[in-house]
């Protein structure tokens, strides 16, 4: 076969990658796995490296390009980016007022039918102008003062939702105007990462999105999860604009530009009021922040007739909703214990109406963030509530520095729910209750983890049933699971809502079966912090006996393979809590058993993989991931989740992804399933 033409293949790859990026980022309907997309992108990168002349401005490889800028160059807008008037009257009167002004300016008498409007959302982000020349993104600029903005092309290229090339026929020039914003879930994940690394958190999605776009280093912007919606046009050349605004947005969507689906063509003031109310009711369920809706005369010709009043169009208005940030007093700080044992300081507030509801409690996340914000009991603070996001205190009122800042709140030394010791690991930011098996706040999580497939594997005990058992007063502690078989408790079990006799029998059979287990599974099931499956197996292999493990000192625990100071201290603290030891003894008394040995000296059989670390990736022909892992561990090897220089082998099956690439990069030996079986049989 003839070698494929590099230029043709590069063009084909660009088309494929643009198509699949649009399916993934805009339509949320991917057609191929991430690994296949990565493979196509890698192939294009290799082609462009071998043939630099094939590199084009719209190549998907150019999402993050350019050097750190000394500043932003000014951009003169070909068509001014004007703001629209804001109607702050959040009642229906605001819509009536706008409709009346349109009818008056257009000289529409009372017998003329209602005006058709396109009603859409008012996104809370940063306005951007995208300039496409011959279908390729040539420039992106901020609104600025409406006449002149800033060139932020490098940063806008990092937003995957924004196409670098338009789909279909390419206009000579098409300027698309819209909003760069940040989804609430992306914002929460970003702040959670900031908290985990001890860095400052961001106040709200709007400011965070705006700050990301104006970064001088596009690599920093690329780390911020930004999104985009189009809502209008700037300069147009060589493109027939549809006759209505709604059809214009439809046409932009066909070109591959993200357009929000929450919009409607409505008639007259009554239609505007209905849309405002419907979106207000839906506001909390939206994945992004809005602070109102926007009404625009739908007919483009009528827009032109109406024209502008100073620097604002007569044919559009923003109709606001109640603010999502308010000011109130911080009266006290309580502690909430989460289902994983994390202690969170909670602000007790003077009740305030914010984001459509009355808020009296708000999270402060952790004591370090509280101190970074300089918040004290008695302060006047800013509270934010957006959608279904938990209300939070974002700062205190007053820009002046308070010197010195002296906090008047301390984290408690004991859990307020169960009295167990509260710990914070060295270098960590979260305080945690150490009474996982005993603490009522952690009961559900402890039960679900204990019953998990890789732990005690209790068939029939799932999420809903755990809730029913707790709410029905049948289960308060883990050992009480094994008392459900008594006549009285079995009758109460069957009486639970929707609990059929067959389901109850299946659960009781699962409980009985789980009594015969292994020490490793039991240790993992206890939910000791930092003790995963592998560490549990190492502990079981080393000590061989639960009582020896419970009595082990930190120094003795450090002798176990791959157990470091943090893990050792976590295990020691767990077994120092008398109620945790009591739960272990009660579970043993309930009949849970496993084979025991003298520690580090069981008959392990052949260990051909002793001291070796393997990574599994992809789908193997005959072995599941769990089966392959069990075989490796039985042969003395370890299975790791990521590839490093310490990895001995990578076992790759079908659709192996980035781990396979990493192995090749580091020169790690790659095996298939046959090669793995050869190792297990004693090969090298």
Catalytic residue numbers, as ranges: 122
Distance, C-alpha 392 to centroid of its chain: 18
Backbone torsions φ then ψ of 323, nearest 5 degrees? -65, 155
| CA angle centred on 207, ends 204 and 213, rounded to 5° | 135
395/96 Cα distance (integer angstroms): 38
Q: Name the pairing type of β-strands 85-87 and 316-320.
A: parallel
Instruction: Tally Cβ neighbours within 10 Å of residue 326.
Output: 18
Backbone torsions φ then ψ of 331, nearest 5 degrees? -85, -35
Helix crossing, 34-50 with 6-21: angle to 10°? Answer: 150
Is the alpha carbon torsion for 86, 246, 147, 75 positive or negative? positive
Q: Name the pairing type of β-strands 342-354 and 325-337.
A: antiparallel
83/308 Cα distance (integer angstroms): 11
Alpha-helical regions (H) of 151-228: 153-156, 184-196, 205-213, 218-222
Sheet holding 227-237, edge to edge: 136-142, 126-133, 173-181, 227-237
Backbone torsions φ then ψ of 299, nearest 5 degrees? -75, 120
Helices (H) and strands (E) in the chain, counts: 24, 24
Backbone torsions φ then ψ of 227, nearest 5 degrees? -135, 175
DSSP assignment, residue 214?
T
- Which single residue is written with the structure tokens 């192996």? 656
314/85 Cα distance (integer angstroms): 9
Are the beta carbons of 262 and 279 closer than 8 angstroms? yes
Are the beta carbons of 652 and 617 closer than 8 angstroms? yes
Tokens of 632: 């490796």
Instruction: Tally Cβ neighbours within 10 Å of residue 656.
Output: 20
| CA angle centred on 107, ends 105 and 110, rounded to 5° | 120
Are the beta carbons of 274 and 212 closer than 8 angstroms? no
510/456 Cα distance (integer angstroms): 9
Distance, C-alpha 651 to centroid of its chain: 30
Are the beta carbons of 132 and 237 closer than 8 angstroms? no
Residue 318's DSSP bridge partners are 86, 294
Torsion from C-alpha of 395, 401, 406, 412, nearest 10 degrees: 20
Q: Of 192, 236, 597, 214, nearest to 429 (Cα)?
A: 192
Are the beta carbons of 496 and 483 closer than 8 angstroms? no
Write the DSSP assignment of 3-43 as a string of letters.
PPPHHHHHHHHHHHHHHHHIIIIISS--SS-HHHHHHHHHH
Q: Of 577, 481, 472, 564, nearest to 525 (Cα)?
A: 481
């Amino acid at each position: 076969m003839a070698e494929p033409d590099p230029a043709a293949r590069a063009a084909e790859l660009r088309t494929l990658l643009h198509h699949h990026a649009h399916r993934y980022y805009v339509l949320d309907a991917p057609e191929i796995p991430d690994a296949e997309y990565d493979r196509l992108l890698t192939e294009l990168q290799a082609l462009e490296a071998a043939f630099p002349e094939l590199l084009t401005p719209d190549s998907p490889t150019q999402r993050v390009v350019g050097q750190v800028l000394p500043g932003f160059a000014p951009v003169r807008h070909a068509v001014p980016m004007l703001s629209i008037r804001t109607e702050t009257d959040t009642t229906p009167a605001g819509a009536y007022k706008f409709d009346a002004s349109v009818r008056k300016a257009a000289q529409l008498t009372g017998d003329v039918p209602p005006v058709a409007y396109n009603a859409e959302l008012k996104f809370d982000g940063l306005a951007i102008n995208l300039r496409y020349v011959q279908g390729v993104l040539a420039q992106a600029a901020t609104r600025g003062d409406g006449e002149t903005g800033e060139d932020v092309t490098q940063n806008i290229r990092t937003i995957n939702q924004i196409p670098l090339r338009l789909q279909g026929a390419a206009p000579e020039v098409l300027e698309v105007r819209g909003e760069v914003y940040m989804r609430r879930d992306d914002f929460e994940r970003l702040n959670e990462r900031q908290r985990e690394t001890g860095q400052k958190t961001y106040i709200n999605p709007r400011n965070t999105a705006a700050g990301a776009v104006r970064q001088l280093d596009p690599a920093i912007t690329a780390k911020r999860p930004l999104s985009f919606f189009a809502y209008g046009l700037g300069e147009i050349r060589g493109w027939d604009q549809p006759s209505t605004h709604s059809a214009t947005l439809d046409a932009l969507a066909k070109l591959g530009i993200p357009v929000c689906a929450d919009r409607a063509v409505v008639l007259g003031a009554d239609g505007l009021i209905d849309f405002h109310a419907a979106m207000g009711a839906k506001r909390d369920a939206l994945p992004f922040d809005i602070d109102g809706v926007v009404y625009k005369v739908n007919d483009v010709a009528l827009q032109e007739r109406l024209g502008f009043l100073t620097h604002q169009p007569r044919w559009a208005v923003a109709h606001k909703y109640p603010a999502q940030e308010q000011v109130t007093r911080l009266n006290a700080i309580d502690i909430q214990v989460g289902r994983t044992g994390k202690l969170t300081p909670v602000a007790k507030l003077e009740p305030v109406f914010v984001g459509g509801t009355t808020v009296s409690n708000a999270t402060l996340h952790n004591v370090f963030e509280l101190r970074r914000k300089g918040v004290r009991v008695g302060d006047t603070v800013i509270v934010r509530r957006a959608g279904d996001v938990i209300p939070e205190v974002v700062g205190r009122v007053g820009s002046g520095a308070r010197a010195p800042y002296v906090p008047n709140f301390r984290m408690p030394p004991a859990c307020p729910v169960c009295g167990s010791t509260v710990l914070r690991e060295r270098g960590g930011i979260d305080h945690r209750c150490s009474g996982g098996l005993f603490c009522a706040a952690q009961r559900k999580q402890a039960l679900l983890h204990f019953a998990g497939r890789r732990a005690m594997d209790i068939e029939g005990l799932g999420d809903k049933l755990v809730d029913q058992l707790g709410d029905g007063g049948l289960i308060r502690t883990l050992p009480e699971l094994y008392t459900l078989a008594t006549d009285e408790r079995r009758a109460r079990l069957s009486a639970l809502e929707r609990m059929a006799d067959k389901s109850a029998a299946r659960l009781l059979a699962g409980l009985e079966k789980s009594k015969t287990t292994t020490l490793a599974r039991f240790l993992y099931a206890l939910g000791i912090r930092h003790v995963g499956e592998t560490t549990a197996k190492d502990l079981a292999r080393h000590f061989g006996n639960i009582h020896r493990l419970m009595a082990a000192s930190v120094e003795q625990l450090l002798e176990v393979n791959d157990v470091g100071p943090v893990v050792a201290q976590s295990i020691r603290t767990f077994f120092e809590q008398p109620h945790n030891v009591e739960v272990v003894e009660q579970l043993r008394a309930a009949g849970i058993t496993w084979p025991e040995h003298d520690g580090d000296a069981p008959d392990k059989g052949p260990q051909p993989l002793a001291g070796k670390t393997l990574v599994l990736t992809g789908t193997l022909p005959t072995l599941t991931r769990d089966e392959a892992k069990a075989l490796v561990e039985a042969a003395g090897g370890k299975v790791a989740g990521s590839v490093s220089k310490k990895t001995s082998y990578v076992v790759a099956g079908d659709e192996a992804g980035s781990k396979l690439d990493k192995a090749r990069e580091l020169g790690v030996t790659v095996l298939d399933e046959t090669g793995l079986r050869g190792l297990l049989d004693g090969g090298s």
